[in-house]
Structures are given as C-alpha cells and as structure tokens.
Structure 1
Amino acid sequence: MKKYLLITIMLIVSLPAKAQSYIGYLTDNYSGVNGVIANPANIADSRFKTDINLIGASAFFANDYLGVGFSDLTSSNFEYDTDAKLSLSNNNNFSGTVDVLGPSFMFNVGKKSSIAIFTRARTVISGNEFNGKSIDDLDDSIDESQDFLVDEGDFYAAGNGWAEVGFTYAQELMNKEQHFLKGGLSLKYLKGFGNAYVTGRNVTINYDASGATLPDSSTIGTLESTGDLSYGRADGYDSDNYDYEVPDAKGFGVDLGFVYEWRPDYADYVVTGTDGVKTVMKDKNKYKLKLGLSLTDVGSVNYKGGLIDSYNINNTITQDDYDNIEDSDDLQNLYTFTQATEDIKAGLPTALHFNADWNIKNHFYLNLNTDLSMRSAGENVMRTANVISLTPRFESKWFSFYLPVSSYQYSGMQIGAGLRAGPLYIGSGSLISTLTRSEIKGADIYAGLKIPVYYSQPKDSDGDGIPNKEDSCPKDFGPIENNGCPWGDTDGDTVLDNEDDCVDEAGPVENGGCPWIDTDGDSLMDNEDECINEAGPVENNGCPWPDSDGDSVLDKDDECPNEMGTVANNGCPEPEMTAEVQKSLNEYARTILFTTGKSTIKDESTPVLVDIISILNEYPNANFTIEGHTDSIGSVQTNQKLSENRAQSVLKFLIDGGIAPARLKAVGYGESKPIATNMYKDGRQKNRRVEINLVK
C-alpha cells in the first residue's frame, strides 16, 4: 500500500505549478490586457489605445514540506535523502499552477468603456492536510524488524487543467475630479482537459513486525490499516492503447473587480478643447493612491462521466500480501472496492484580491497586494496559496522595473525582480531568494511578448489648457472662447466685447450677449418661443394649440386632425355600417342555437355572441333591433311567444356583454316572416332564426 500512496503523492507534488500569476508585472499600470487576470476593472481608463498580448506564461509552486537549495538542484552530487530539507508536520500543504495567456487584446469603446477578449490555458494543483511525518516514514520504507504507526488522518489532493476564452467589459462608474471609480466584469467559457483528485478520510497504517505466526512457528509482519480512500478522475485515458482523449468537460467562470483612485492633483491633467469640452489626459497616471478589490475564478468545470474509485482499507494484511502488490487489481482483492461513473465538478481556485498602489513621486511607486483563497480544503478543491506582496517599482511608458517582496503561504518569504521593456515582460517573484538561499520551498517565473499602443501626450506650449493643435495663439495664453487668444469681456458673459450687444449687461451668446425676454408673457423666453407675440403652452413651443378641422377637438388630442369628427371618437368621424357588415352580422346571428322549444341559448353559441358584441362596439352610436323568428310548427301564439323570449335572451346577453341597453330593442315575429318554405325540414330550420338589424 505504501508504494502506491507514495507514488501518487510525489507525482502530484512534482507537477509544474503556479498559484499567483506575473508577480510584480500586474502592479504595473502598463500591464495592459494582462491586467484583467488580477482585476477586470484595470483596462478602463488605461494608458493604452489598444494592447495585444501575443503570448505570456507564468509558473509558480509553493509547499511547506520539502526545501532544497538552488546550488543543490544544479549539482550532480545532489542526494535527496541527505541534501533535501524536510519540514515535517501533521498538516503539510502544497499549491501551484501553470498559466499561459494566449493571444488577447483590449481596446477602448468610447471615452469611458473598454473591452478585452483573452485566451488562457491553466493547470492548478493543490494538496492539503498531509501528514508529512507519515510521508517521510513511508519514504524510509518498511523496516520489517520494527513496528511503526502512520496516522495520516484526512488529506486532500487535486489537479485540474482547462482552457478558457474570456470577455471583459470595464467602465468608469464615477469621475468627480479627485474621486474616480471604475468597475469591470469578465465572463469566461471553460473547456476542461484533465481532472484528478485523491481524498483520504481517517487513514491510519499500523505495522506490527511480528503480528502473525506462521505454521513453522516463525513470525511475519502485519499491516493493519483503517479509513477510506477515493480516487476520482476524468475518464479520458485508454489504458490499452495508451491514448488520451480530451474529456467532455465545460463550464463558465466570472471575475468581478473595482478600482478607486484618489486624484488630489486632478486639475493638472485636464485638457480643454476649442469646443469647450474638458477631457482628462489619457496618457498620464493621475492618482496619488489607488485601491483595487476583485473576486476572480468564480465557477467550475463539469466533467461528464468521470470515474471514482473508492477503497475502504479497514483490513489487516501480512508482509507477504504487501510485497505481492503490483497493481490496482491486487489492491481491489485486499480491500473493499467500489467504482462509480458520475459527473465530476472541479471548482475554480476562487480568490479575493486587494491592491493598494501609492505614487511616491513621479515614476516611483509602492504597491501592496494580497491574494486570499476563498476555497477551503476538501474533495476535488483547487486552492491558491495566500500571498501578501510589497513591490517598489520604477514605471514609465516604455520601461518598468519591479522588486517584489512577498510572503507566501507554505513557502515563506521570497524576494524577486522583473522588468518590462516595450513589448517584452519577464520576471520572477522569487528570483533573488532562489539564487541566494540554501533552502527553497517555492519559486515562480514568467515571461511574455505583446504589442502595446499607448496614448500620446498633447503639447500645450502656453499652458492655457488648449493643445497646440487646437490653439490659435499657441505661444500666448488665452481663453478657450477665443481659441486660445487673449481678449476682453467686460460683463463676464463669455461674449467678447466686440460681439456683445449689451456690453455692461450679461447675456447669453445666442442673444448677442443680452439677456432673453418673454414678449408674450407665456413663461417661455423668446429664444425658445415660436410665437413670440402670442401666448401658448410650453409643450407647443409657446404657440396656442390649433383645431385644423374645427370639430372642437384640438389637434394635439385629435386623432383625425384634418377630418371633422366627434369628441367621443377622439376627433374622428363615427364609422358607418355597410351592407357587407350588416350581412355578416346576421350570418353570425342566425347561427345562435337554443334549446329545443325554449329560449335558453346553448353554450356553443357563446363565441358567436362574443363576436357580435365586438362588431356592435365598432359602431358605438348605432342602434339595433334583435328580431326573433320561428317555423310554423306549433300554434301561432306559442311561436310568437317563443320568438319574443329568444330575442329577449339575446338582448340580455348583449347587455351583459357591455352593450348599452338604449341601443337595443328586442322584437318577436313568430312564424310571420319566413325566409323559406315550412314544408320541408331544411326550410323550417332556416326560418328558426335570430336577426340583428341596424335601426336607420
């Protein structure tokens, strides 16, 4: 059992990894599209017109179990058993990731918004709560002559690899001179290409050197184990053909961030154009203090049809059983084994980031950054190592240099260095520590190439706030109203004295420098009043509303302003019922069905009557008679009464449906007005009818 557990643990620990990306470089205001990794709000109000990342890669690993010196790693005489420095505890951990930022770009949308599209490939691993002392005991191998106890307890290890395509939108949220706020959101489509995890619960291994007595009275060691082990993975490996297929795995992720800037010298960065519009210089950092807060990697990748092997290792085996373990089939014979096929969800390494950046003076800055994992240890959980970094830097448009000093969870204090020179960025958050220390528990490195397109600085020779290209007097300080040339304005109304009709009385430019008046007293100034000498409402630009067709409905309320109508019909003429409509109305009415020999309307006739109500409502001022007719079967008196009652039933239904009673009259004609012969069944059926006719 030992060798398989040890191989699994060492394989996971040895994977290349990174937890924090591009340490030092992401504090740079010229990191461009790369900045969305730490905070999607970074690309709004950036120093770039556009920025294209060609390729970038970052790798990081930290652990609190194993430490080696750089000289040891490069020496051919390095021996793990003697030269490696172990920090053993009952809670050892490791964390790491590889992060490749592929082709990505950002550009501005208008003056306040920016978007970015980025591609990334990432591998994240993490392991938590390993008992380092137990691992060391296993690595020393079982001494058949000595008892030992391994109390591993609970432990977790997981790895996930995926690619992502992201879209970022960032925008200014507040710009009140000294106070500036921007926010950003990244939405990411995820494609998983590998996931595996190992989880142990209450695992113990107790070796008794003489635990069992053989028939020849000799003894043999026994290995008593307890607990549960689970091994889950995406099922994409064909063990027969040694072929790996990308699993059916996808998901979505979200990053959200905000950045606040305090700009005490805001006025120094304002440029006024000849149109009077004030804009803030895009090529300059304007803050004294910048604060950023972001939450990244919220989401997960769902692996369809993963495999989960579960072992209950509550058993006692002999030394011979242990020595005969060659593969997983042997383990399944010794311990209770189950295998399940189900979807596996691999959560992203969600982290909270806080960043504070202080502009000490000119090109010199000091940055404080913290990365805090929001994931707790658990089954198939990817966690980043918590980090706090203090990074002094020199920053300019084409060159920046960083010296990050960081404290990493698991690996301790690290000192690094990095630089950006035009399209190249390269560095490490642990470079100096790696080269100088005798014990290294973590390291990182990054490098990349991009195509930056920066904003340029507008030139203003006379310092009047108007760029030279828009200043008619670039060497003479002058107001924007005179295109940068000096002139006088006695009444201070921004209209030059040579153009002001009221030099000593301030007035708007539109009225030649004189104040506007209201000639007709309708509260609308003459400059906005289309009827200066005739009072009218503001809604009609100071003119009275007309009544073009003279029907007493003003044009603003008249739906037929050029055709005389009635107030009741919103200024339009009442519609007239045509012969076609009358015919259609009676065709509907004749289909009304009654219970045989009674005036009760059958339910199936309700839709017909509803349609009749709709037709009558189209002619609100028309009156109608409801006429009931019967065939000649029965007495004249009976038929007369039946026709009247049926007409009244229809009348009541129409009134209940909303038709005014005054518009309707019910009449029964009995058998007196046949429209077909009563000798035959078809004729009698036609005579049993209801008609609805217009009263002319």
Structure 2
Amino acid sequence: MKKTALSVLFLLGAMGTQAQSFIGYLTDNYSGVNSVIANPANIADSRFKTDINLVGASVIIGNDYYGVNVMDALKEDYDFDLDATKSPSNSNNFGAYVDVMGPSFMFNLSKKSSIAIFTRARSVANVNNISGSTIDKIDNDDSDDFLINPGEADISVFGQAWAEVGLTYARVLVNKEQHFIKGGMSVKYLQGAGSGYAYTNNVAVDYDADGGVGPDGWSFNSTGEVTYGRFDNFDNDDYEYELQDAKGFGVDLGFVYEWRPNHADYTKTNSDGESYTLKHKNKYKLKLGLSLTDIGAINYKEGLEDFYAIDTQGEVTEQDFDNAEDFEAFLEDISTADQSRFGYKTHLPTALHFNADWNFSGKFYLNLNTDLSLTKKGKENTSSILNIASLTPRFESRWFSFYLPLSMVEYNGFQAGAGLRMGPLYLGSGSVLTALTSDNTKGADVYAGLKIPVYQGKAKDKDGDGVLDKLDGCPKIPGPVENNGCPWTDRDVDGIMDNVDNCPDEKGPEENNGCPWGDTDGDTVLDNKDECPDVAGEVENNGCPWPDTDGDGVLDKDDQCVNEAGTVANNGCPELEPEVTEEIQKTLNEYAKTILFNSGKSTIKEESNDVLKEIVGILQEYPSAKFAIEGHTDSVGSNSLNQNLSEARASSVMHYLIENGVASNRLTSQGFGESKPIAPNSTQAGRALNRRVEINLVK
C-alpha cells in the first residue's frame, strides 16, 4: 500500500507543470514560428520570409523534495530511497510539463504584418502542498505502519492534457527613427484530451500493516474530505479512450519594444527618395518584450466530480479494499456522505512573461527572461507554471546559434543549461549542466525539434555599384548612385552625358554645357558670337549696338569725325566756320570803339549794351574763333594809372561777353595803357581816338 501510494504520487509529479518550454531557444531571433508561444508579437518584422516547424518537443520535470545525482541515478545499483537527497517541508511540490509543437508555419503578409498558424499538444499536472513529513512516514523502511495527523496530508493534485490550434496575427505599431514597437495576439482553439484532480481536506490516516484479516492483511482508520474529479469513465477497467467533449478557447497577447540607435544604418535610399530597410538584419541595441499567455479554459461537459466525507468509524481492512469494484467504489464505501456533479472547467496556466535582450557586441547577446505564474498554486482545476528567471548569454547568426541559460526555477533552484540551433535542427536543455554536475538536482528539462527555415535574403547588389538591387534601376549594369545605379545616357546624342548636360533633351556644344546657343537679346546673333549678348545690336558689329562716341547723334559707323561732335548733314563732323574777314574785324572794332565807360572807371555805361549785344552776335557766328580784347588810354595821367585802367576796361568787356554766351576759352583780355596811340595825344580829338577798346582775331 505504501509503495503504491508513493508511486502514484511521483507518477502524477512526472505528468507536468510548466515553466518555460524550449528554454534558451525562444530567446533566439531565429526561433521563428516557435516564438509565438512566448510572445505572439515576435513574428512581426522577423528574420524569416516563412518558417515551418515540423515537430518539436519540450519536457520539464521538477520537485522541491528529492535531489539526485543524475549520473549516479543512471547506474543499476542506485537506490532512490537511500542515495537521493531529501528536502522535506510543510509544503512540498512535484511536477513536470510536456509541450509538443506540431506542424506550424508563419509568413509575412506585408512589410508590417505577419501571420502564423500553429499546433500544440500539451500535458500539465501539479502536486502541491504535500507535507514532506508525510512522505517520510509513508517511505519509512523501519516500520510499515504510519500515522498521519489531521490536515498533515492535505494536498492538491491536478493534471490535464489538451491540444491547441492557434492563429497569430502580429503587426508593427510604431516605427519612428530609433523607436520601434510591435504587437501581436494569438487565438487558440482548445480540445481537451483528459483531466483529473484530487483535493483533500483535514485528512487523517492511521495505517496498521498487520492489523487486518489474514497473515498479510492490513487495516487503517481515516477521516477527512476528498474531492475527486476526472473525465467520464476514466477509472473504469474496461475504458477505451475516446476524444472528450471538452472544448475551449485561449488567448495570448504580447508587445515588443526595440531601441534602435543606429536605425539609419539599416535603411538605404536611392536618388528618387525610395528606401529599403535591410530585412535580414537585427536592428536593435535593446529589445523589451511583455506578454500574457494562456488566458482561457476547457469545458469538460462530460466530466464527473465527486465529493466524499470520509469517516471509517472503525478499521477498514485489506479485504474491504480488495472486494471493492474500483477505487471510486472503495471511497464510497468508507465515506459517510458523498455527492456528485457532471461537468467542470479546467483553466490554463496563465502567465506573465517579461523579456529583455541586449545586443552588446555584433552577434553576441545577453537575455533576461522571467515567467511569472498568474494562477494560484493548488487552486482547483487550474494549472500553474513554475516561476522562473533566466539570464542567457548567446551567440546568434543566421544558420547557427548557441546559448547558455542560467536560471532560478521555483522549487528546483539554480539550473544551468546549453542549447544550439543549426539550420533546421534545434535542441538543448535549460538544466543539462547542473543535472550532470550537481549531487542535488531537483529538476531537469530537454527539448529538440526540426523545422524548415526560409530566411530573409541578404540585400543583393549584383552589379557591385553600391546600389542595392531593390533600389537599382539597372540591377545588372553598374552605374552611379546619383542615377539610381544606372549608367548615364546621352539622350540628345550631343556627346555630353546627361549628368553634366544642362539640356539633356536638346543638342548643344560642350562649351555651353550641352545646351544650344541662345539669342538672349533677340538680335539674331547667337550668344556665343554676340559680344553684347544682353543688348540687341547689329550683325555687322558682332551683336553690339553702334556707339556714338562724340554724342552728336551720328553713329560711329557713319561718323567721319568719331571723336568730334558734328552734324548729321556733315557726316558727324562739325560744319566749317566762315573766316573772320578784315571787314568783320573792322566792324568789331568800330563797335568796340563806341563802348562807353564812366569817366576814370572800368564800368560800362548802359547805353553801350546794344553795341555789346551786336558784338556778341558776331562772335557767336564764329564759335571756333578766338579773340583778344585790348584796352587803350590816352596820355593824360600817369603811366601806371593808365595801364591799370586799360586792363580793367578790357576785363570788363570780356566778362560781359562771357556772361552773355561767349565761351571763356575763346577770349583773353590785356591792357596796354597809353603805349599804343592811334592818334596824337596833343589834341582833344586825338586823345578821344586813343581812349578805345579793340577786339582782334587771334590768328
């Protein structure tokens, strides 16, 4: 009886409780469709075009009571009871987890979104809150008898197996420079394959190994409450397994944030502004993931749940146990009250996952992962995971990855493992190193699988011109970046390549940058031959207008006196002036003699104005002729006085002529006093003739 009970206990323990499946492998950016079980957002912007998982299995077992040396345990003479290390407590726990991922695949719907369809078969069970002292009593080799006090053996045992078909959709939510966020959701259809549970309350047992009927009989007294649930007919001897009427739905949610400080290095842009992001590269320095998995339940419509209030009120013998039809019937026999109900729900092991991945050097990463159970241990009809925190350094490349997960696992303590991925093969264990080296291993796991990965292709540059084929207008012919990877052409066939041709669609000479010569000023002389390209001119003057150097209104081409103003009638030359004849000279002097001055002064009398105007008119008829104005006096007075008076009077006449329009450069004045008489000064008439002004032509 003792060994039977103990065996059942550890059989249940080996049927399952989940920590994290595929420990180490799911941290890999190349885990592909498998990564949806940790965080459904992972498949968006992945390193795969598509990924097909053929089959993969992960098995995890653990407890916090027995510790063993795995290498010793493999030996034939290993005694589990004697050689294993025991760690009894008031609440010991046992368990394991089996996760088989069947045919599954993922592919990209667009640059921003991806989809996955996956299948899984899972088995999970929990044995919680069992007293270590109770185990010791049952397993005591010194005596077959044992006594369990009320409440000491209160335990909860739960196990279930189910299949999943899941659909995952993930999408990029934010892609802004160095900040990148994606989210995803998985919806799962659940098919229950079987479940069973048992809970005890305030149970007491008094077992007497030789107190029954017959030489080998036993008896025991027991009190307490037992709840026992299972899918229909599971405990019948003639039961043949059938798929249960047990269905449900589950949901996984997840988000991933990536910090991409060097985001610009992964985006290439051509001269047209078209861009391409390198899909085969991991772009983050730090990645943070948060997910909530296994929200849901399975409804066992044909399940049975029985409640037993046990009170043997006397000894129950081995014969009573043997005569019972089955274990359920035995419980009914020893209970004072029992009740049953049909149908119950089993809940999935809901968990919260946090993941931080640091790319600290090229292909080397350091990952921190935590899995936290959101279901209470021992809660009725509910699976729960083992809480775990893992630190995993890894080397990661396209076809090969290697990782060394270091974990703290609830109940199991510290575990160190190793895993690798080689193309289609992945295998590893989160505990293999500690399992092989520790004398107190309380848990172990192993996983392996095969897949068909189709990775994102490396960006190609077939012609080696530095422009990726995705952005290259001529991917097979090298060309400059400025022309989108195409060689420069000469569309107008003028011998000048379009990149330096200012007029690529119109022929033109090299000296005008490939453009035809224009006629800016519209004078029919092309700019390359037009000496005045901005001013309309004459063909005969190389496109420049004819000048008029002397400003006489006669263009230089027609001006026979280019530098001397003239008249149109005289071909730009000044008209010839008439010669100042002796008669004109005589007339001037006759007028000049009549100019009257105030006595003894140089001021001209007003009655002389008419005479002076006549003189001005004559002088202007000879604009080029120059004249000398001479002043003379009689001999009355001193020579000095007469000299000064002659000079002043000559000057007064000259100034009058200048003020009335005669050019100053044509006139000079000079006084001669009494030195040049024209008549004797001895007579009054002679002196009158000597007091005169003369205007003489300067020859």
TM interval, short-chain normalised: 0.5 to 0.7
Q: Which residue in the other structure is 1:298 paired with?
A: 295
1:478 aligns with 2:478: no
Q: Which residue in the other structure is 1:657 paired with?
A: none
1:285 aligns with 2:282: yes
- Matched ranges for 1:313-392 at <5 A: 313-318=310-315, 321=317, 324-326=320-322, 327=324, 328=327, 329-377=329-377, 378-392=379-393
What's the TM-score once normalised by structure 2's chain length?
0.64
Q: Which residue in the other structure is 1:405 paired with?
A: 406
296-305 or 129-138: bigger deviation = 129-138
CA distance in 1, matches of 2:238, 2:476: 80
Q: Quick check: 1:178–1:266 contact (8 Å CA) kept in 2?
A: yes
Q: Quick check: 1:473–1:485 contact (8 Å CA) kept in 2?
A: no
Q: Quick check: 2:182–2:257 contact (8 Å CA) kept in 1?
A: yes
One-letter code aligned to 1:159:
G
CA distance in 2, matches of 1:145, 1:459: 77
CA distance in 2, matches of 1:124, 1:39: 20
- Matched ranges for 1:9-28 at <5 A: 9-15=9-15, 18-28=18-28
Q: Quick check: 2:137–2:146 contact (8 Å CA) kept in 1?
A: no
Q: Deviations over 1:613-633 (max 9, x none)?
A: xxxxxxxxxxxxxxxxxxxxx
- Matched ranges for 1:130-279 at <5 A: 130-140=130-140, 143=143, 149=149, 151-152=151-152, 154-205=154-205, 224-237=221-234, 239-273=236-270, 276-279=273-276
Give 3-state SS (helix, strand or coil) of 2:152's partner.
strand
CA distance in 2, matches of 1:61, 1:210: 36
CA distance in 2, matches of 1:399, 1:463: 28
Q: Quick check: 2:472–2:484 contact (8 Å CA) kept in 1?
A: no
CA distance in 1, matches of 2:47, 2:307: 54
5+ residue gaps, structure 2, are 491-498, 506-699
Query: Please, what is the CA RMSD of the aligned residues?
Result: 3.2
Q: Deviations over 1:446-505 (max 9, x none)?
A: 111111111122245555677684467986753367869799xxxxxxx9983699xxxx
CA distance in 2, matches of 1:446, 1:237: 30
Instruction: Call closer, same or farther: CA 1:363–1:146 in 2, change over 3 Å.
Output: closer
Give 3-state SS (helix, strand or coil) of 2:41's partner.
helix
CA distance in 2, matches of 1:209, 1:451: 59
CA distance in 1, matches of 2:203, 2:480: 81
Instruction: Call closer, same or farther: CA 1:186–1:210 in 2, change over 3 Å.
Output: closer
- Matched ranges for 1:520-535 at <5 A: none
- Matched ranges for 1:586-605 at <5 A: none
> How far does residue 62 in structure 1 lie from its aligned partner after superposition?
1.6
One-letter code aligned to 1:71:
M
> How far does residue 336 in structure 1 lie from its aligned partner after superposition?
2.4
Give 3-state SS (helix, strand or coil) of 1:435's partner.
helix
The alignment covers a number of residue pairs equal to 487
CA distance in 2, matches of 1:273, 1:89: 68
CA distance in 1, matches of 2:197, 2:295: 20
Q: Deviations over 1:497-543 (max 9, x none)?
A: 83699xxxxxxxxxxxxxxxxxxxxxxxxxxxxxxxxxxxxxxxxxx
- Matched ranges for 1:421-440 at <5 A: 421-440=422-441
Q: Deviations over 1:357-389 (max 9, x none)?
A: 000111000000001111002112111101100
Q: Which residue in the other structure is 1:656 paired with?
A: none
Q: Which residue in the other structure is 1:686 paired with?
A: none
Q: Quick check: 2:472–2:486 contact (8 Å CA) kept in 1?
A: no
Q: Quick check: 1:200–1:227 contact (8 Å CA) kept in 2?
A: yes
Q: Which residue in the other structure is 1:451 paired with?
A: 452
CA distance in 2, matches of 1:355, 1:323: 57
Q: Deviations over 1:273-306 (max 9, x none)?
A: 5653223111000000000000001001111121
- Matched ranges for 1:485-524 at <5 A: 498=502
One-letter code aligned to 2:273:
G
Q: Quick check: 1:229–1:311 contact (8 Å CA) kept in 2?
A: yes
Give 3-state SS (helix, strand or coil) of 1:134's partner.
helix
What's the TM-score once normalised by structure 1's chain length?
0.65
Q: Quick check: 1:222–1:316 contact (8 Å CA) kept in 2?
A: no
Q: Quick check: 1:477–1:486 contact (8 Å CA) kept in 2?
A: no
Give 3-state SS (helix, strand or coil) of 2:411's partner.
coil
Give 3-state SS (helix, strand or coil) of 2:229's partner.
strand
Instruction: Call closer, same or farther: CA 1:14–1:498 in 2, change over 3 Å.
Output: same
Q: Quick check: 1:236–1:244 contact (8 Å CA) kept in 2?
A: no
Q: Deviations over 1:4-58 (max 9, x none)?
A: 7545423312336653211111000001100101000000000001111111111
81-90 or 385-394: bigger deviation = 81-90
Q: Quick check: 1:234–1:344 contact (8 Å CA) kept in 2?
A: no
CA distance in 1, matches of 2:319, 2:357: 59
Q: Which residue in the other structure is 2:420 paired with?
A: 419
> How far does residue 226 in structure 1 lie from its aligned partner after superposition?
3.5
CA distance in 1, matches of 2:319, 2:7: 16
CA distance in 2, matches of 1:241, 1:472: 72
Instruction: Call closer, same or farther: CA 1:16–1:144 in 2, change over 3 Å.
Output: closer
Instruction: Call closer, same or farther: CA 1:272–1:69 in 2, change over 3 Å.
Output: same
> How far does residue 444 in structure 1 lie from its aligned partner after superposition?
0.6
- Matched ranges for 1:505-584 at <5 A: none
Q: Quick check: 2:28–2:396 contact (8 Å CA) kept in 1?
A: yes
One-letter code aligned to 2:400:
F
One-letter code aligned to 2:456:
Y
CA distance in 2, matches of 1:439, 1:37: 31
> How far does residue 225 in structure 1 lie from its aligned partner after superposition?
3.6
Q: Quick check: 1:148–1:208 contact (8 Å CA) kept in 2?
A: no
Q: Quick check: 2:426–2:450 contact (8 Å CA) kept in 1?
A: yes
Q: Which residue in the other structure is 2:48 paired with?
A: 48
397-406 or 6-15: bigger deviation = 6-15
Q: Which residue in the other structure is 2:687 paired with?
A: none
CA distance in 1, matches of 2:204, 2:304: 25
Q: Which residue in the other structure is 1:604 paired with?
A: none
- Identity level (%): 54
Give 3-state SS (helix, strand or coil) of 1:152's partner.
coil
Q: Deviations over 1:635-657 (max 9, x none)?
A: xxxxxxxxxxxxxxxxxxxxxxx
Give 3-state SS (helix, strand or coil) of 1:244's partner.
coil
Q: Which residue in the other structure is 1:631 paired with?
A: none
Q: Which residue in the other structure is 2:95 paired with?
A: 95
CA distance in 1, matches of 2:16, 2:334: 34
- Matched ranges for 1:74-89 at <5 A: 74-89=74-89
Q: Quick check: 2:390–2:405 contact (8 Å CA) kept in 1?
A: yes
1:307 aligns with 2:308: no
CA distance in 2, matches of 1:155, 1:360: 47
- Matched ranges for 1:677-696 at <5 A: none
CA distance in 2, matches of 1:146, 1:161: 34
Instruction: Call closer, same or farther: CA 1:202–1:145 in 2, change over 3 Å.
Output: closer
- Matched ranges for 1:647-666 at <5 A: none
Q: Quick check: 1:256–1:296 contact (8 Å CA) kept in 2?
A: yes
> How far does residue 353 in structure 1 lie from its aligned partner after superposition?
0.4
CA distance in 1, matches of 2:34, 2:427: 13
> How far does residue 175 in structure 1 lie from its aligned partner after superposition?
0.1
Q: Quick check: 1:289–1:357 contact (8 Å CA) kept in 2?
A: yes
Q: Deviations over 1:552-608 (max 9, x none)?
A: xxxxxxxxxxxxxxxxxxxxxxxxxxxxxxxxxxxxxxxxxxxxxxxxxxxxxxxxx
One-letter code aligned to 1:445:
V
Q: Quick check: 2:435–2:441 contact (8 Å CA) kept in 1?
A: yes
> How far does residue 205 in structure 1 lie from its aligned partner after superposition?
3.2
> How far does residue 324 in structure 1 lie from its aligned partner after superposition?
4.4
Give 3-state SS (helix, strand or coil) of 2:408's partner.
strand
Give 3-state SS (helix, strand or coil) of 2:118's partner.
strand
